[in-house]
C-alpha cells in the first residue's frame, strides 16, 4: 500500500506523533507497527484509522498483527508456510500409519509360520494329508503377504510422490515468505534469521560483517516525484547491490529505503565492497523513459564487524550508528563503526526521513 504524499513541513510532526502515540500505548517499535500508526495518523486509510482508534489503552501485538494482516497482507505470507507445514505433517502421519500396518501384517505372518513349525515338531509321523494341509496354510499366507506387499509398495510410492509435491510447495512458500515483494531480494524476516545465525558459529563471528545502507534524502524523492518513482529507485538500487555482491553474500531490504548485506571478509575488504556499491549508485543515471532526471541519487553506508558486537542486536545497532555517522557528516559516504566514538546517538527516525 502506498501512502499519500505528506507536505514536508508536516513530516517531522507526524513522525513525532507516531513515536509518541506508540510509546504512550506501549507498542513495540517494529517496522510493521510504525507503518500501521503512520497510516492511521496521516488519515490515508479511513478504515485502518478507525480500527487503530478502537484499540484498547494497551493493545497487544496480536491485535496489531491482525490489523497488519488485514491492510498489509503482502507482508504476511508466513501463514501460507504454516499451512504447508500442517499438510506435510498430515502426509507424514499417513506414511507412518501405513508402515505400522505393514509391521502388524508381517508379525501376523510370522505367527502363522511359528505355529506351523510348532505343529510339525509335535508330530511323530507326517503323512501326505498333513503335508498338504501345511502347504495349503503356508501357501495362502505367503500369497497374501506378497499381494499385501505389492499394495504397500504402491501406496508408499503414491505417498512419496505426494510428500515430494508438498515439500516443493513448502519450499516455494518459504521463499515467498522470505522475499521482499518489491525488490525480490531477501526481506527483514529472512535478514533477522540470517544475522542471528552468524553468532551460532565462532568462526563466522571472526570473519563476518554487516553493511547497512540507506538512500539519502529519499523522502524528498517521494515528495517531488511520487511513491511509484521512489519504488522504482529502490528496485534499481537493489539490482545494483545484487550485481555487485558475490553469490555467497546475503543482500536484503530491511525496510523502507534501507538495505543490509551480511558478508565475510576483513574490515578493509568489507569497506572496499561498501565503497564500490556507493560509487556504483552515485554514478547511475536515474532517468525516466520520458527523460525526467530523478537524480542525483546517493546512499550512505555503515559497517561493523561481527567480532565488535556481543550479538545480532548489538551488531545491527552498531552498524546503524556507523550509518548515522555517514548521514550527519555529509551523506554519500561509508563509515566504519571502529572509527565512531562511543557517544549516544539520536533516534533513527530523525534521519530516516531526510
Give the catalytic positions in this structure.
Answer: 257
Grid cell in block for residue 148: 499385501
DSSP-derived letter for residue 247 is: T
DSSP code, position 210: E
Instruction: Provide the b/e sequence for 36-49 (b: ≥16 CB within 10 Å).
Output: bbbbbbbebbeebb
> Cα–chain-centroid distance for residue 22?
25
User: Order of strands across the sheet with 299-305?
Assistant: 250-255, 258-264, 208-215, 299-305, 334-336
C-alpha closest to that of 238 among 185, 180, 296, 277: 185
Integer angstrom CA distances of residue 256 from 31, 169, 178, 227, 290: 9, 29, 16, 11, 26
Q: Which residues pair with 138 in a beta bridge?
A: none
Residue 274: all three cell numbers together: 561498501
Bridging pattern class, strands 250-255 and 334-336: unpaired
Amino acid at each position: 500500500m502506498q501512502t499519500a504524499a505528506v507536505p514536508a513541513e508536516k513530516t517531522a510532526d507526524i513522525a513525532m506523533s507516531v513515536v509518541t502515540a506508540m510509546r504512550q500505548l506501549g507498542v513495540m517499535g517494529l517496522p510493521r507497527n510504525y507503518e500501521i500508526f503512520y497510516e492511521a495518523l496521516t488519515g490515508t486509510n479511513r478504515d485502518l484509522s478507525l480500527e487503530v482508534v478502537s484499540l484498547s489503552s494497551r493493545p497487544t501485538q496480536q491485535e496489531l498483527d491482525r490489523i497488519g494482516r488485514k491492510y498489509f497482507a503482502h507482508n504476511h505470507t508466513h501463514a501460507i508456510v504454516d499451512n504447508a507445514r500442517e499438510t506435510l505433517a498430515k502426509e507424514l502421519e499417513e506414511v507412518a500409519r501405513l508402515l505400522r500396518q505393514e509391521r502388524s501384517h508381517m508379525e501376523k505372518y510370522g505367527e502363522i509360520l511359528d505355529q506351523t513349525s510348532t505343529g510339525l515338531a509335535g508330530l511323530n509321523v507326517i503323512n501326505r494329508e498333513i503335508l498338504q494341509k501345511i502347504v495349503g496354510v503356508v501357501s495362502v499366507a505367503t500369497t497374501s503377504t506378497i499381494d499385501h506387499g505389492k499394495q504397500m509398495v504402491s501406496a508408499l510410492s503414491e505417498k512419496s510422490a505426494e510428500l515430494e509435491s508438498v515439500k516443493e510447495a513448502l519450499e516455494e512458500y518459504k521463499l515467498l515468505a522470505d522475499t521482499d515483494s518489491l525488490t525480490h531480494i531477501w526481506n527483514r524476516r529472512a535478514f533477522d534469521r540470517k544475522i542471528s545465525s552468524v553468532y551460532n558459529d565462532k568462526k563466522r563471528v571472526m570473519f563476518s560483517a554487516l553493511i547497512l545502507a540507506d538512500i539519502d534524502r529519499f523522502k524528498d524523492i517521494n515528495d517531488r516525484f511520487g511513491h511509484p518513482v521512489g519504488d522504482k529507485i529502490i528496485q534499481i538500487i537493489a539490482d545494483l547491490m545484487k550485481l555487485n555482491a558475490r553469490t555467497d553474500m546475503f543482500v536484503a531490504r530491511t525496510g523502507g529505503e534501507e538495505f543490509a548485506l551480511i558478508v565475510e571478509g576483513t574490515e578493509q575488504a568489507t569497506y572496499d565492497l561498501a565503497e564500490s556499491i556507493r560509487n556504483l549508485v552515485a554514478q547511475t543515471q536515474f532517468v525516466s523513459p520520458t527523460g525526467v532526471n530523478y537524480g542525483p541519487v546517493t546512499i550512505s553506508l555503515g559497517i561493523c564487524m561481527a567480532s565488535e558486537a556481543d550479538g545480532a542486536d548489538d551488531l545491527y545497532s552498531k552498524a546503524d550508528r556507523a550509518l548515522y555517522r555517514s548521514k550527519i557528516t555529509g551523506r554519500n559516504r561509508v563509515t566504519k563503526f571502529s572509527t565512531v566514538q562511543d557517544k549516544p546517538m539520536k533516534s533513527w527516525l530523525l534521519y530516516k526521513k531526510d
